[in-house]
Amino acid sequence: MISVAVLGCGNRGADVYARHLAALGARITHLIEPRPARLAEVAARHGLDAGACFADADAFFALGRVADALVIATPDHAHVGPCLQALALGYDVLLEKPICLQESELERLLAAEAASAGRVTVCHVLRATAFFGAVRAVLESGRLGRLVGIQHAENVAYWHYAHSFVRGNWRASPPAAPFLLAKSGHDLDLLRWFAGAPPVRVSSEGGLHHFRPEEAPAGASDRCVTCTVTGCPYDARVIYGERDAALWPVTVLTAGGITLADALEHGPYGRCVYGGGNNVADHQAVTVTFANGVVAQLTVSAFTHNNTRTLKLMGTHGELRAQMERGELELHDFRTNETERWTVDAAGNHGGGDTGLVAAWLAYLRGESGPPTPLVESLDSHRMAFVAERARLAGTVERLG
């Protein structure tokens, strides 16, 4: 049985990866988490005693290699250091994205992997979905001819952007990752996967258009609970009050036994979105040219009603359109003038990608396949994000490599 330690017992580490690993036959052997109550809760799930639980990573790594593999799901800024320690001990690592917050750290991680017996798998879960697997299968079938262009949109949804990027942990960069990397690292990875070649040139436009003090409606208060403005789509009382209290995003506000009312009155998620506490883009467009000539355009926007991904792949002999939320695909064949429409299962968190990635990683750990995605390829998504942010701020076209 594959043994796995988990560093970071938050939602992704404990509620997603550890749960799926245990369900698929792995054994969780060690946990590392600084919050005592959370550590005890997750340890009880997996039947672990105090000797298998650690408050900090250094104490765990001092044991040497005590498991087959390690999940790293710490906060964004705390990924690289533990991953370097794990590779030095020969661990195979499942690493939550974003990999790092500094472009220079990409090469450090790649060099560390090259010197290690372990391999790093980045949690680019969308590759493991049935939906994007179907898109990839169309490409591989040759029905589109030669791929020429990609149009991809990440529709963040107005309320989701307000939650995560105005009121939430990713509202300011630094210290958080740039908006494009934090929200669309998966999407840039998909572009790399579909193009089948490394990126060579990137440009980007965008900025913070709406969530600024000068955009506030007349009479707006600094907190939603004291605001008398009617019809505001970003009213936290509506965004959280109309959603299931047992599910994300409400559980983010009520973690640790805090009531929703108290969170809205005193916490960050009850603040007015026009208060000026954020600096990340709310609408950004990126153009990437790949080494084989494929040109991809990605738009990521707060100003959408749904929370999904839509895309169009354009080839010399066909066009594929797809909508993730509904699992819909539509293929137009230029040679036969026929149109084919079908759906695939897009249910589950990240469209089933969380479970799919864990299953693929376990297959690799068991020696049944290679790593789900080579690290060198996963790093291209981050390179594109860092370069695109530099291009957006400077108004330049940037070259890679």
Mind listing the pLDDT tens digit for each residue in 291-327? 999 999 999 999 999 999 999 999 999 999 999 999 9
For residue 51, how many other CB atoms are within 10 A of its CB? Answer: 7
Residues 193 and 339 in one domain: yes
Q: Of 66, 87, 122, which residue constitutes the final position of a domain? A: 122
Looking at residue 349, its pLDDT comes to 81
Residues 391 and 373 in one domain: yes
Q: Of 97, 122, 147, which residue constitutes the final position of a domain? A: 122
Residues 81 and 182 in one domain: no
Mind listing the pLDDT tens digit for each residue in 128-159? 999 999 999 999 999 999 999 999 999 999 99
Looking at residue 354, its pLDDT comes to 94
| Domain housing 301 | 127-211+278-399
- CATH code assigned at 291: 3.30.360.10
Cα separation, 9 vs 32, in Å, equals 7
Looking at residue 226, its pLDDT comes to 97
Structural domains in the chain (count): 3
Confidence of residue 252 (pLDDT cuts 50, 70, 90): confident
Looking at residue 177, its pLDDT comes to 87
For 249-272, what is the mean pLDDT? 92
Cα separation, 322 vs 312, in Å, equals 6
Residues 336 and 282 in one domain: yes
- CATH code assigned at 38: 3.40.50.720
For 151-177, what is the mean pLDDT? 94
Confidence of residue 175 (pLDDT cuts 50, 70, 90): confident
Cα separation, 149 vs 294, in Å, equals 6
Residues 286 and 165 in one domain: yes
Question: Which pair of tokens denotes residue 192?
Answer: 């790399």
Residues 195 and 232 in one domain: no
Share of the chain above pLDDT 70, in %: 100
Q: Are 231 and 220 spatial neighbours (Cβ–Cβ below 8 Å)?
A: no
Confidence of residue 387 (pLDDT cuts 50, 70, 90): very high
**What does DSSP assign to residue 48?**
-
Mean of the per-residue pLDDT values for the chain?
95
CA angle 71, 25, 21 (to 5 degrees): 25
For 33, residues 6+ apart whose C-beta sits below 8 A from its C-beta are 8, 9, 13, 14, 39, 42, 53, 54, 55
Confidence of residue 256 (pLDDT cuts 50, 70, 90): confident
Looking at residue 348, its pLDDT comes to 80
Looking at residue 11, its pLDDT comes to 85
For 376, residues 6+ apart whose C-beta sits below 8 A from its C-beta are 110
Mind listing the pLDDT tens digit for each residue in 322-354? 999 999 999 999 999 999 999 999 888 888 999
Question: Which pair of tokens denotes residue 105?
Answer: 């750290």
Share of the chain above pLDDT 90, in %: 91
Residues 346 and 202 in one domain: yes
Question: Which pair of tokens denotes residue 371?
Answer: 């790593």
Residues 290 and 349 in one domain: yes
DSSP-derived pairing of the beta strands 199-207 and 397-399:
antiparallel
Residues 249 and 366 in one domain: no
Looking at residue 70, its pLDDT comes to 98
Residues 172 and 296 in one domain: yes
Residues 197 and 334 in one domain: yes
DSSP string, 90-142: T-EEEEPSS--SSTTHHHHHHHHHHTSS--EEE--GGGGSHHHHHHHHHHHHT
176 or 292, which is more confident: 292
Residues 117 and 35 in one domain: yes
For 192-205, what is the mean pLDDT? 97
Q: Are 27 and 33 spatial neighbours (Cβ–Cβ below 8 Å)?
A: no
Looking at residue 347, its pLDDT comes to 85
- Given CA atoms 12, 15, 18, 24 in this order, what sign does their dihedral have? negative
No. of H helices and E strands in the chain?
A: 13, 15
